[in-house]
Amino acid sequence: MKIEYYIVLSLALFCIGIAGVLTRRNAIIIFMCIELMLNAVNLLLVAFSKMHHVAEGAKNVAMAGIDGQLFVFFIMVVAAAEVSVGLAIIVMMYRNTHSVDVNFLNRLKH
Amino acid sequence: MSATVFLFYFLSVLALGSAIMVVVSRNPVHSVLWLIATFFAISGHYILMNAQFIGIVNLIVYAGAIMVLFLFVIMLMNMNADSEPKKNKWLKLAGVVSGGCLLLVMVAALKSAEVKGQLVQMKDGDIGLIANLGKALFTDFVVPFEIASVLFLSAMVGTVVIGKKGD
Amino acid sequence: MIPVLLIVIPLLSGLATFLIKQEKGAKTWSLLASLITLVVSVIGITMVKDKAALSANLEWLPMLGSSFSVTLDGMGQILCLLTAVAFPMIFLATWNASYKNAKSFYALMLLGQAGLMGAFLAHDALLFYFFWELALIPAYFLCSQWGGERRIAVTMKFFIYTFVGSLFMLIGIIYVYFHAGQNFSIESFYSAALSPKEQNWLFWLFFVAFAIKMPIFPLHTWQPDTYEQSPTAVTMVLSGVMVKMGLLGVIRWLAPVLPMATWQNGDTVGLLCVIGMIYASILAIQQDDLKRLIAYSSIAHVGLMCLAIFVTSEKGMQGVMIQMFNHGINVIGLWIVVELIERQFGTRKISELGGLAQKAPALAILLVVVSLANVALPLTNAFIGEFLLFTGVFTSTVSKMGPVFTAVAGLSIILSAVYTLNMIQRVFFGNTNQLTASAHDIRSNEKIVLGILVVAILVVGVYPKPFLELTQGTVEAIMSKMITKHPI
Amino acid sequence: MKNILQLVWMVPVLPLIGFLINGLFRKQLSKPLVSLVGCLSVLSSFVISVLIFLDVKNGHTGVVNYFDFISVGKLHIPFAFQADQLSALWLLVVTGVGFLIHLYSTAYMKDEEPQHYARYFAYLNLFVFSMLLLILGANFVIMFIGWEGVGLCSYLLIGFWFKNNEYGNAAKKAFIMNRIGDLGFLLAIFWMVLKLGTVTYHTGDNTGVFDLVSKLSTFDITGITLLLFVGATGKSAQIPLYTWLPDAMAGPTPVSALIHAATMVTAGIYMIARSNILYTLAPVTQTVVAVIGLATALLAATIALKQNDIKKVLAYSTVSQLGYMFLGLGVGAYTGAVFHVMTHAFFKALLFLGAGSVIHAMHHEQDIRNMGGLKKKLPITHLTFLIGCIAIAGIPPFSGFFSKDEILAAAYANNPIYWYLGVAGALMTAFYMFRLYATTFLGQFRGTEEQKHHLHESPLSMTFPLIVLAILAALAGFVGVPEVLMPNSHALGEFLAPIFADSAKHAHAHHLDHSTEYVLMAVSVIGAAIAIIYAIFRFTRKPDLQEATGFGKVLADKWYVDEFYNGIIVRPLNWLGKFLNTYIEKGLIDWVVNGVGRSVNYLSRQVRLVQSGQVGSYVLLMVLSILVFFVIQFFLKK
Amino acid sequence: MNAIVISAIWGVIMMFSGAFSKNLKTVRALSIVGIALLFVVNLLELYGTHLFTVDTKGMLQFDSFGLLFNAIAIGSTAVYFLLNGRDMEKVGLHVAEYYALIFFVLCGISIASSFSSLLMLFLAIEIISIPLYILTGADKRNLKSNEASLKYFLMGAFSTGIMLMGICLIFGAKGSFSIEQIALGDGTLTPMVGAGLLLLMFSLAFKVSAAPFHFWTPDVYDGAPTVFTSFMATIVKAGLFIAFIKLFGDAFGELHGQWQTLIAIITAATLIIGNLTAVFQQSVKRMLAYSSIAQAGFMLFSLVALNGMGREGLLYYTLAYSIPTIGIFAILVRMKDYTFEGFNGLAKHQPVLAAVTSIFLLSLAGIPATAGFMGKFYMLSAAIQNGHVMWLVIIGIICAAISVYYYFRVIQAMYFKEGDAQELETSSFHKGLLVLMAAFVIFIGIQPQWLLNQLYTFFS
């Protein structure tokens, strides 16, 4: 497969995520859309990793491109940590206001 | 059309479709489920590229652990389709349009990307195998690996601080 | 060592004043300190020959190419003398005034003096900028704390206005710095390699700062308000001394550094100055508030000095030197009178006063003398200055506009007579009214201060030679820089 | 007798000392002491002046340098005094008349409080000092110092009774109008500095202004002389700057006599006489001077015809006479002009002092309509006043005849029209002076009973100066008897010849033949005599007590010149000031400055609305920014 | 490495200290010990003593610039602990945890100042961010704190996504995460690198609260407990700046010309928006939030100019900005009324505090003889030396003038307005420390030589 396909696919996913962040009001869904963005990145990273493996492999670098996949691993790690904190915050918010609607977050403005 | 290409397109359509469904679903629970579908499709892509470890981890960690967590929270809050009031139509439109424009602009910008035409290795290559990844992780990537623990620690502490009841 | 002392004495004594609890003590102490400064500055003037004693170059920021370089040249001597004379005068004249939180007042005054001294002495651009701003801060606090009703808004405007100007200058300084071998010393500034185009826009950066400080039309509107709202002691510092920072800036840091641009823009600036002079003079006629009247009159006088600098002539420059001193003395004299009037009657409105000459003849006489100096009557100090200034403008070989400028600017001589005499007549002559019927004459300390000023006015007016000789070297040095660097 | 020249500095310094003593110790000194100091200082100046005059007459002229006044680069302005024929003559007049007037003042001002009495004498002394500086200065700057100094003293003395706002306004007007002239003077000085690099009259090495005239182009000379003349019009009350002088009568009468008749107002003539060489080389200016002088003479004479204030009449007559002097200068009759200055100083001081004596007697009544028949009550005053009137009317052999005749003769030689108009003015002069005389001294007394009761002749200290001046007014003409009447008897002309020598070289000599001169003299004398007789007869019987009507009112209201000036200068200036204050200063400049602040505030208020608190809009804005930046980076650059 | 390891370890120690000791004093003492230790070990490394020799495989690279910055950050944190220790205890019950989180943040900052791989940059930024989300929400029952926390978190996560996409594209183009590898190239900006670079720039701009990615800042700074705002606005922001300049200087320095205009636009926007919006604020705390945006604008000059002077200046500015801001917040945190009126008449009741606050404000406004002036001087010099961005310099000074307006409003309130200042509980220790800080601000304002020496020693 040519890399362009992955780029377009991944960008599409990424932008769907962004659009989701923009259109939804529920904090959890927004958060999910952000996860979608991360996954788009992950997908592209793996694709790049495999691409570089081909390109660099020709130059006898055995493990070329492997760092891309490892980065994906770290992204997952971070995402997991983020999710735990994020959900904790959302729950805390919910406990106080009984809502997760970001439109109600307007005590702080101007 | 080879099987690979067919699979690629199938998975892509699946991923995009479910991603869109995540955004448009009125019910949060449905969103979660569609997101899980997206993750599955992406895992499919990984496996298609012979990135087995990432594919599996994606399923276990994301689709399994993280999304379940989301689901729990949503259930906990007892959310359903009607719990989210309609957002301003124009704002929604603006969101979609700007998301679309961003896609257009980025694609246009990368139209003549330097990697254009390079091939992605499919179904082959062993860098995605757990052995190789593991080796690299504990040699070259040991420092970030260790440092990631700090991240977890802080997340843990944070969750305790935030989540602990009683004050 | 002398220049360092001139800065350090007021600085340290100012800081020390913060610690004095009693009002009387703070007053006495600050008077004492300012007198010591005066003595030092007089010593500085007498040591013309001893170049070593008149300059100091201490290490400050070698890595940035800046040093604590202070030199008491002719211009510095005359301005430091003015500063040193002004402060004891002010303290004495306001001896009977009572300020709440007096220690802070006097402390800030002394700190302001230190800043002024520094700006007059600095021969290093960064150092100059430092002191330039430092002189402003105490002034800001003094005006805002002890000023009139609208003081907060007005001094804010004053501060920001001058601060914007200073920042423009800072850009200019830094730009020149990079073209002067990354060195801030005045010598390297004078030999900075700048193309005419660069000079041209740098010129306006510098000029704006100085023009605001002086102030030059149309950047003057902060000034009448600030003078009006400030406590008079501070107004004396502002108009008597601080205004000279702008002139000094032009003479020391603008004209010789950017000679080509100075030549090129001389007529434009000159035009502004002339317009400003006439404009301010006409406005002065309209004022009912004594302070505003003097403020506008000050704008007119400073405009003339600035004009004389920009037509690049030796006589004019010499005139500026001596006039900087004279204007300081005269305007302080006027402010003292205003202060005395305001303290006694609680008003500065010309329309509410009248007939003071009957009740306070000594005040009237002293005011008349000072006013006459203000209109540059011969045998007063200002005549020497204005004569040289006008001669310089008229006979300028650089500006084609010299005679025209002189003729138009000369109208201010007439207008100054109009508003000054108006003021004298309406305040001092005529019959007394309810307010002034119970007036008393001034106290002896006030008499002494004004008397000293009057003597100074007359002495300089009759025998200006020592002053002219004092600054001759500076004038020649600057003129040579302004002229030789010109392509023609 | 070199040593007398060394004493020149004492001439001005003595009055200065007098000023300082009287000024500083005005509260301590008693009135007699003040008078003593005041008079003595001027008297000693006079004595020294006489010595100097004698010395100069013997040909010992010279310049004494004291110190460098201003010295910058190549420009050197020494503080130096010049003793020559012109200054020596003027010294005599100033100190002499000055002393007499000081003496007169001791009686005239005796009702003042001691403090103000001392102040008065201090001012007078200061005036004498300034006037002497003006005369003695060896360069234009020193002259200018005195020039402005006398203006100041005039200001102080006009406004001497400072409680009265009218007087204050008159003083202010005098000062400001003088300043207008002074600006011209200053510009002329600058012009000299520009072209010649010096302002000294003559120097030993021939680098003075008058030595270097050949270096100046016609344009320069014309410019310089015109500007100097502007100065002269201010100080000597010529069109268009004459209006202050009548108002200046607000001051005490001796002051009017000294400053506004005898000395200060002649400073313009002195200056032009001093720089005669310049004027001789600038024919255009000369014409201007002559025309302005003549016009002033006529205008002032017409106004004087209808004035009823005794001092006002004299004031306009002064303006008119000054006009004659300028006419003289303009036609090159420098000696004549100086001559007329001298004679005028005598008879006009006499007239003013006489008027003062009348006013004194009438308890500060100045309106001649309320006088009349004072002849009997004030015999000395009457007699001396009559002498003064005859002198000014130009009846031989009184002094005015000689000096005026000399000017008119020269005017005729230059252009007969000058003469016709000049004689017309002279006739008017004779007429209004005798109108004044007749209304005041002849006929019936028209004042109040109380005034009548108190009428008395003035004390000796007032009449003595009158007598001395009357003698001088009567006889001073003989120092300049015209060639036709007595050859080689023009002592003054011979004395002044060195001063005007250079001009004489350049001037085209217009020599009238003797017969013409006789005719001219006869015409003017006869005309004057007729005017006098007519005036005496007419006003002794029926003084015009009514308000003037018709054209007479125009004259009485001074051709409405003050109103005209008010309309074209004072009011527009005020209007301009108000306009600038409201619309430019506050409405435009300050509005812009404050507007910057306001717009910052306004922008701040608007910009902060972007901070809506909504996460959605924040992210939207961020995404849009990303879009924009992408577009800029990828599609807009290059 | 010393700082990274010790701060991580001490974070854990602090974590447990809360469990083992209920005595807050012990916890506080322990934190002081920790920060002191941290400071010492960092200095040791600065002078060449490495406690831990770890082969980082090119993931981290310690240079004097980063270490010097660490020293500044750790030192400032020490001051912060000393000043704000008591106030932290008032936020909530989990004092030990707060300390632990702050130590973790310091660990992140140490990484941010020494990363040489995009992976480490990513981790560093996350390690810095996640504790901050929590600290922002530490005042759990305060809705504002909750809201701030959630806003911060959502937008932070969003920007993480942007950053990752950027990293990903860079990786796609260059095939490596290593800064050295990325820096290789012929100096032309290829599309994918360009896109990645932009996305990275945006996400980092977000972190340092540069406009138009600053929107979270005022709300978060306003909502967060004041003690933590103080920490976030100063030390953390500076740490992120170091990461920013390190990445763009080291990895994309060659391409500087290609992105200079964009960053200049961002800088201008930051300056204008920060300063303009601050003008109309009623709350001092919120004003300080906007002012921190404005100050970030000035710090961005170092990126725009990207020369030696800019880097030195950034360090200097960090100090010159952090110390006064920490000081003002330390006073603010003890006030009940955060509005400008709350400061009315403070000078009469608390002359020392008022004087100290004035000095801090003067420094922030960039008045000579305070540290702030030298900071601004450096930044302006850097931009002028660069020569291409004179327009930005002009905007900068105009904004500096505007900043005077709102900083001086506080001074006006304290000195020139009548009012009953609030009761402030201050100890003499607290006051003394503030006075020392003020003295320090003036000292390095008048005699920056001391600091410059350090800078030049380590740069040469």
**Which of E149, E280, E398 to probe the D interface (max D CBs under 10 A)?**
E280
Q: At D560, list the tokens.
A: 């409405």
> From the CA of A8, how many Å to the nearest CA of chain B?
7
Q: At D608, list the tokens.
A: 């902060």
Name the nearest CA neighbour of D149 among D137, D164, D165.
D137
Domain boundaries, chain A: 3-104
Contact D69, D155 (CB under 8 A): no
Residue E90 has pLDDT above 70, yes or no: yes
Name the nearest CA neighbour of C119 among C192, C10, C219.
C10
Residue C111 has pLDDT above 90, yes or no: yes
The pLDDT tens digits of the residues spanning B9-39 come to 999 999 999 999 999 988 888 999 999 999 9
- CA dist C290 and C292 (Å) reads 5
Q: What percent of chain C has pLDDT over 70?
A: 99
**D307 contact partners, CB below 8 Å, separation of at least 6:** D313, D316, D432, D556
Name the nearest CA neighbour of D528 among D389, D388, D327, D325.
D389
Instruction: Return phi, psi of residue A2, to 5°.
Output: -80, 150
pLDDT-derived band at E361, boundaries 50, 70, 90 = very high
SS3 content of chain E, % helix, strand, coil (to 5): 80, 0, 20
* Burial environment of residue B1 by CB neighbours within 10 A (0 to 12, 13 to 18, 19 or more): exposed
pLDDT for res B86: 64
Residue E283: strand pairing partners: E339
Q: At E248, list the tokens.
A: 């763009």
Instruction: Decide which of 1.10.760.10, 3.10.310.70, 1.20.210.10, 1.20.120.1200 is the CATH code for B3-126.
Output: 1.20.120.1200
Instruction: Give the count of alpha carbons within 13 A of C324, CB side only.
Output: 34
Instruction: Return phi, psi of residue A59, to 5°.
Output: -95, 25
* Type of residue at D503: S
Name the nearest CA neighbour of E164 among E132, E113, E119, E110.
E119
Identify the three-state secondary structure at position C70: strand
Name the nearest CA neighbour of C129 among C10, C222, C245.
C245
pLDDT for res D2: 56
Q: At E325, list the tokens.
A: 């801001």
C387's enclosing H/E stretch is: helix C381-394
User: Which of B129-138, D408-417, E121-130 is the most confident on average?
Assistant: E121-130
Residue C51 has pLDDT above 80, yes or no: no
Length in residues, chain C: 488
The pLDDT tens digits of the residues spanning C398-407 come to 888 889 999 9
- CA dist C158 and C152 (Å) reads 10
**Which residues of B are less than 8 Å from D635 in CB distance?**
108
Instruction: Return phi, psi of residue C55, to 5°.
Output: -140, 155
Largest CA distance in chain E: 66
pLDDT-derived band at C357, boundaries 50, 70, 90 = confident
Q: At D632, list the tokens.
A: 């800029």
Domain boundaries, chain B: 3-126, 129-167
CA distances from C291 to B29, C103, C337 (A): 77, 26, 10
**Which residues of C are less than 8 Å from D172 in CB distance?**
418, 421-422, 425
Contact E231, B153 (CB under 8 A): no
Contact E275, E295 (CB under 8 A): no
pLDDT-derived band at B82, boundaries 50, 70, 90 = low
- CA dist D575 and D580 (Å) reads 8
Across the interface, which of A51, A56, A67 has its CB nearest the CB of E177? A67
Q: Which residues of chain D have a Cβ shorter than 8 Å from any chain E Cβ? A: 597, 600-601, 603-605, 607-608, 610-611, 613, 615, 618-619, 621-622, 625-626, 629-630, 632-634, 637
Mean pLDDT computed over every residue of chain C: 89
Pairing outcome for strands D62-72 and D75-83: antiparallel
Q: Which residue of D has its CA nearest to B102?
A: D627
The pLDDT tens digits of the residues spanning E405-457 come to 999 999 999 998 888 766 777 888 999 999 999 999 999 998 888 887 877 77
> From the CA of E43, how many Å to the nearest CA of chain D?
40
Length in residues, chain A: 110
pLDDT-derived band at C435, boundaries 50, 70, 90 = confident
**D382 contact partners, CB below 8 Å, separation of at least 6:** D374, D375, D441
The pLDDT tens digits of the residues spanning E151-201 come to 999 999 999 999 999 999 999 998 889 999 899 888 788 899 999 999 999
Instruction: Give the count of alpha carbons within 13 A of A102, CB side only.
Output: 29
pLDDT for res D296: 94
- CA dist E276 and E403 (Å) reads 8
SS3 content of chain D, % helix, strand, coil (to 5): 75, 5, 20
DSSP string, D79-137: EEEEESHHHHHHHHHHHHHHHHHHHHHHHHTTTS-HHHHHHHHHHHHHHHHHHHHHHHB
Length in residues, chain B: 167
pLDDT for res D1: 44
Interface C:A, ≥3 CB–CB pairs < 8 Å: no
Mean pLDDT computed over every residue of chain B: 87
- CA dist B68 and D415 (Å) reads 124
A59 close to B (CB below 8 A)? no
Could you tell me how many helices (H) and strands (E) chain B has, helices first? 7, 0
pLDDT higher for B120 or D507? B120
Mean pLDDT computed over every residue of chain E: 91
pLDDT for res C172: 94
Torsion angle, alpha carbons of D126, D132, D137, D140, to 10: 70
Distance of CA C73 to the CA centre of its chain: 17
- CA dist D179 and D175 (Å) reads 6
**Which of D22, D116, D190 to probe the C interface (max C CBs under 10 A)?**
D190
Report, as an integer, the average pLDDT of C464-468. 88
Contact D289, D229 (CB under 8 A): yes
pLDDT-derived band at C486, boundaries 50, 70, 90 = low
pLDDT-derived band at C226, boundaries 50, 70, 90 = very high
CB atoms under 10 Å from CB of D33, counted, come to 15
Residue range A3-104, CATH number: 1.10.287.3510
> From the CA of A105, how many Å to the nearest CA of chain B?
14
CB atoms under 10 Å from CB of D149, counted, come to 22
CA distances from C436 to C94, C293, C345 (A): 21, 20, 7
Q: At D60, list the tokens.
A: 């010992």
- The 8-class DSSP code of residue D71 comes to E
E309's enclosing H/E stretch is: helix E308-332
D608/E202 touch (CB, cutoff 8 Å), yes or no: no
DSSP string, E128-180: HHHHHHHHHT-STT-HHHHHHHHHHHHHHHHHHHHHHHHHHHHHHHHS--BHH
* Type of residue at E212: P
Report, as an integer, the average pLDDT of C286-304. 92
Contact A40, A13 (CB under 8 A): yes
E195/B112 touch (CB, cutoff 8 Å), yes or no: no
Tracing tokens 């389709």 back to the chain, one arrives at B81
Instruction: Return phi, psi of residue A26, to 5°.
Output: -80, 120
- CA dist C332 and C453 (Å) reads 9
CB atoms under 10 Å from CB of C22, counted, come to 11
Residue C415 has pLDDT above 70, yes or no: yes
Report, as an integer, the average pLDDT of C431-460. 86
> From the CA of B81, how many Å to the nearest CA of chain A?
11
- CA dist A81 and B148 (Å) reads 10
- CA dist C362 and E413 (Å) reads 43
pLDDT for res C324: 92
pLDDT higher for B113 or B1? B113
* Type of residue at E101: L
Identify the three-state secondary structure at position E333: coil
E22 close to B (CB below 8 A)? no
* Burial environment of residue E427 by CB neighbours within 10 A (0 to 12, 13 to 18, 19 or more): exposed
Distance of CA C176 to the CA centre of its chain: 26
E175/A81 touch (CB, cutoff 8 Å), yes or no: no
pLDDT higher for E41 or A62? E41
> Which residue stretches of chain A have pLDDT < 50?
none
B102/D631 touch (CB, cutoff 8 Å), yes or no: no
Domain boundaries, chain C: 1-171+213-252, 265-488
E123 close to B (CB below 8 A)? yes
CB atoms under 10 Å from CB of E130, counted, come to 31
> Which residue stretches of chain D have pLDDT < 50?
1
Residue E299 has pLDDT above 90, yes or no: yes
pLDDT for res D123: 92
E102 close to B (CB below 8 A)? no
Name the nearest CA neighbour of C260 among C151, C398, C126.
C398
The pLDDT tens digits of the residues spanning C180-221 come to 988 999 999 998 888 889 999 999 999 999 999 989 988 998
